[in-house]
């Protein structure tokens, strides 16, 4: 008797899974994120501070986001403060950094991250030219580390559509100043 119930339960679960697959197969879940929504998500863990090469303490703050229509990259900017330790005297230097980054999706957690940030512009007042290359390397490391740990969006575990759509990223593009993410099975 117990064996028949176990077989019947297994068959019902299999039919349910197959039915759900056929129901959701080919359907897309479209998620649209505005510049301000992405900016708000990035601001959650700011300011971000980290020391590199023993002489650079980098502080990132005040993120800016700019979405270009027809692109699959995000342009972002941050205020940056380099606290450079020269002769044991810290010397804070402020400026801005502008980057371009791609989008990656990790389905196991349903999270979207900015990836491969490329420094497009670094302007720091008072930074000696002999430190520019090291500052750029340290900043690139800090940005990669920050964006690797802080998603710009996380799919809801309680929303049934989002939970089912976690499976496959189909497309990422920017349309009408919104990051448009298409997910599906």
pLDDT (tens place) for every residue of the chain, 185 residues total: 677 776 767 777 776 656 555 555 566 778 788 888 888 888 888 888 888 767 678 888 998 988 888 777 888 888 988 787 766 677 788 889 898 988 888 877 888 888 888 888 888 887 777 777 877 887 788 888 888 888 888 877 776 666 665 666 777 788 888 888 787 76
Query: pTM score, two decimals?
Result: 0.68
Q: How far is CA 84 from CA 47, 99, 164, in A?
A: 17, 22, 48
Measured between alpha carbons, how far is 132 from 18 in angstroms, rounded to an integer? 58
Tokens 């740990």 identify what position?
Answer: 149
Residue 184: phi and psi, rounded to 5, are 180, -175
Number of domains in the chain: 1
* CATH code of 164's domain: 3.15.10.40
CA distances for 28 relative to 9, 91, 161, 165, 183, angstroms = 30, 52, 9, 7, 5
Confidence (pLDDT) at 167: 62
Name the E strands within 107-165.
111-124, 153-154
User: Domain span at residue 169?
Assistant: 2-184
Q: What is the pLDDT of residue 86?
A: 64
């Amino acid at each position: 008797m117990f064996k028949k119930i176990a077989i019947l339960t297994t068959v019902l679960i299999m039919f349910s899974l197959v039915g759900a697959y056929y129901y959701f197969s080919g359907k897309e879940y479209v998620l649209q994120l505005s510049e301000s929504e992405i900016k708000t998500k990035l601001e959650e863990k700011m300011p971000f501070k980290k020391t590199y090469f023993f002489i650079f303490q980098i502080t990132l703050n005040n993120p800016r986001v700019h979405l270009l229509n027809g692109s699959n990259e995000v342009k972002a900017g941050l205020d940056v403060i380099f606290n450079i330790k020269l002769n044991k005297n810290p010397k804070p230097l402020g400026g801005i950094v502008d980057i371009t980054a791609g989008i990656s999706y990790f389905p196991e957690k349903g999270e979207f991250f900015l990836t491969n940030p490329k420094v497009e512009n670094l302007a720091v007042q008072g930074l000696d030219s002999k430190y520019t290359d090291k500052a750029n390397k340290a900043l690139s490391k800090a940005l990669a580390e920050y964006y690797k740990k802080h998603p710009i969006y996380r799919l809801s575990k309680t929303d049934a559509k989002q939970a089912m759509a976690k499976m496959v990223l189909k497309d990422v593009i920017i349309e009408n100043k919104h990051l448009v993410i298409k997910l599906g099975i």
